[in-house]
Structure 1
Amino acid sequence: MITLVRRATALCVLGAALTACGTAETPQAPRPAPSAPSAPSSPSATASKPAPSGPPTLAPGPAGLTPVFEHGPRTDAAKDGKLVALTFDADMTADQGPRAAAGERFDNPALIATLRKLKVPATVFMTGRWAEEYPDEARSIGRDPQFEIANHSYSHYAYTEDCYGLPTVSKDDMRADLERAYTAFEKAGVADPMPYFRFPGGCYDDAVRKELSATGVTAVQWDVVSGDAFATDADAVTRQVLDGVRPGSVVVMHCTRSAAPVTEQVVRAVVPELRRQGYRFAKVSELIGAADGHG
């Protein structure tokens, strides 16, 4: 079983335009198996709540399948308020290094700065290739308690066929691809990446859930598609987010400047309006904790 190391213990719908071309290679530094004496604890594969020192995860699905989380409790109880999680996919594929070298920007420092200025907690689903290209930014985000970094694969290859034109990772390479992203985070100096995984393109099936079950991750989807990928009309994206949000919502957006150029503008418009409506922003871990073991 792959152990997700913690030192204390799509729609990502980019469509056919995001035809990721990375390669899923076996990680160079595999995590120790849980049975190894020196291995840290992995996310629980049998209980709905982790050990006290670990982040919240969901109980496995039927037949032990990787659990899938889409939204938190639909409640506006006074103790929690109306919670909403803004999530940002930091996409970059293994073939995009030459494009980055030529000046294309797959990061978005202005977006991160705006989230900090507005004091909005957020979860960034990062590919390993993004962390390799922008290690200083990955480390800064990962060490900021306002944010948490989760896994969006290493290569951004799809884990199923027919996923918006994305190339695919073979079944035999899926776990290695996921684990390679954690290795990239560790090399970048990211502190305590979360045991959460977002499927490239948002595509998955029961066979994929079975293949990843031994990793202990909780898969995180969404219930609000921002539509920011390749959008040029910030007002339209803002309306789509505001029309879709309900208590417990998980909103999917992007932290890639070249592929989602209006996202920072959308955040500046969405945040004050949702606060006016009584929403409180939360990281995915808080929503999963509030779900008490249920997706």
Structure 2
Amino acid sequence: MIVSVRRLAVLTALCALGATLAACGTAPGPGAAPAPHAPRPARASAAPPAPLAPSRPPTLAPGPAGLTPVFAHASRTAGRTVALTFDADMTADQGPRAAAGEHFDNPGLIRALRTLKVPSTVFMTGRWAEQYPDQARALGHDPLFEVANHSYSHYAFTADCYGLPTVPEDRMRADVERAYTAFRAAGITDARPYFRFPGGCYDQRALRAVSGTGVTAVQWDVVSGDAFATDADAVARQVLDGVRPGSVVVMHCTRSAAPTTERVVSSVVPELRRRGYRFVKVSELIGTAGARR
């Protein structure tokens, strides 16, 4: 009897010791459930990354009295950059000529720019986008290019502008906005807020009329002379003689009106690269701190 009592006391002590060890966090055996008072640690969950806000293309601040700002070239001291720009011209009344076989596009030029990997800005009329929607959409979705506004009709915004028909003052803003509508219809979802006046012709009245669209007007400081030219070498020399750091070069993307442009690009681009120039889009030039109005 005495032995049984002693054994019982020993067993009781061992049970108490085991309970104490369990309470101090002794790890449970394999497959054992955790103690009820020890909750499972919460698994850390990484928060999903916040979506990147789309970057807004750089523009210039409005001019005096809120007039549309005008950009012609970037700073001459900001590095050897140059922007090649191409006007995809087609006036609102040239549909019959296109139907008769006249080519207002230039696929060979675009292929050359892609082969040479030249970032470029295409100033497109809305009428051109309607005539060549597949090409317009391809340009708008190719990161090598950016599409900007060259009006819908390619009618002049001043009188006496290379013989172009004129847009009435009260229709100027609508003409710019109609071009953006044509771009969207063709599948261009990211047309730039840059506008080139047809013929480069503008005055205070025109700058005031389009100010509500929020565009920056883009001119140039190097005239290639490719319009209606037949001597590609002469055009190339004119470009090479005129380019300075930060230059904007105007050319054309229209086979019928500028048949030499593909050959000009194929000779000018390697030579300018040899001289240390880097080709950029107009948006990069406008985004530089030294942009000039």
TM class by smaller structure: 0.7 to 0.9
Q: Which residue is equivalent to 2:234? A: 236
Q: Which of 198, 201, 204 is residue 199 of structure 2 equivalent to?
A: 201
CA contact (8 A) 2:73 2:248 kept: yes
The structure where helix makes up a greater share of residues is 2
Structure 2 letter corresponding to 1:275: R
Q: Which of 156, 181, 185 is residue 187 of structure 1 equivalent to?
A: 185
Q: Does residue 55 in structure 1 map to residue 81 in structure 2?
A: no
1:294 Cα offset (Å): 4.0
Q: Does residue 72 in structure 1 map to residue 74 in structure 2?
A: yes
Q: Which residue is equivalent to 1:290? A: 288
Q: Does residue 97 in structure 1 map to residue 99 in structure 2?
A: no
Task: State the distance in 2 between where 1:294 and 1:280 align.
Answer: 19
Pair member with larger Rg: 2
Task: State the distance in 1 between where 2:127 and 2:234 align.
Answer: 30
CA contact (8 A) 1:105 1:256 kept: yes
Q: Does residue 166 in structure 1 map to residue 164 in structure 2?
A: yes
Structure 2 letter corresponding to 1:268: S
Q: Size of the alignment, in residue pairs?
A: 241
Q: Which residue is equivalent to 2:267? A: 269
CA contact (8 A) 2:285 2:291 kept: no
Structure 1 letter corresponding to 2:189: A
Q: Which residue is equivalent to 1:114? A: 112
Task: State the distance in 2 between where 1:97 and 1:261 align.
Answer: 20
Q: Gaps (5+ residues) in structure 1?
A: 1-50
Cα deviation per residue 1:25-72 (whole Å; 9 max; x = unaligned)?
xxxxxxxxxxxxxxxxxxxxxxxxxx9721000011111110000001
Moved more, 272-281 or 209-218: 209-218
Q: Gaps (5+ residues) in structure 2?
A: 1-52
1:291 Cα offset (Å): 3.9
Structure 2 residue matching 1:116: 3-state secondary structure = helix
Structure 1 residue matching 2:59: 3-state secondary structure = coil
1:191 Cα offset (Å): 2.4
**Percent identity over paired residues:** 79
CA contact (8 A) 1:59 1:293 kept: no
Change (3 A) 1:203 1:140: same
Structure 1 letter corresponding to 2:210: L
Structure 1 letter corresponding to 2:88: A
Structure 2 residue matching 1:260: 3-state secondary structure = coil
Task: State the distance in 2 between where 1:118 and 1:52 align.
Answer: 28
Task: State the distance in 2 between where 1:199 and 1:58 align.
Answer: 16
Structure 1 letter corresponding to 2:57: P
Structure 2 letter corresponding to 1:131: A
Structure 2 residue matching 1:265: 3-state secondary structure = helix
Q: Which residue is equivalent to 1:130? A: 128
Task: State the distance in 2 between where 1:255 and 1:84 align.
Answer: 18
Structure 1 letter corresponding to 2:223: V
Q: Which residue is equivalent to 1:83? A: 81
Structure 1 letter corresponding to 2:72: E
Structure 1 residue matching 2:122: 3-state secondary structure = strand
Structure 1 residue matching 2:105: 3-state secondary structure = coil
Structure 1 letter corresponding to 2:69: P
1:211 Cα offset (Å): 1.2
1:98 Cα offset (Å): 1.0
Structure 1 letter corresponding to 2:129: A
1:162 Cα offset (Å): 1.1
Measured on the aligned residues, the alpha-carbon RMSD in Å equals: 1.2
Cα deviation per residue 1:62-121 (whole Å; 9 max; x = unaligned)?
11110000001102x5xxx40000000000011111111111100000000000000000
Task: State the distance in 2 between where 1:233 and 1:146 align.
Answer: 28
Task: State the distance in 2 between where 1:292 and 1:246 align.
Answer: 14
Structure 2 residue matching 1:169: 3-state secondary structure = coil
Structure 1 letter corresponding to 2:162: Y
Task: State the distance in 2 between where 1:176 and 1:144 align.
Answer: 27
Structure 2 residue matching 1:74: 3-state secondary structure = coil
1:277 Cα offset (Å): 0.3
Q: Point out which structure has higher relative CO (alpha carbons under 8 A, 6+ apart).
A: 1
Task: State the distance in 1 between where 2:218 and 2:282 align.
Answer: 8
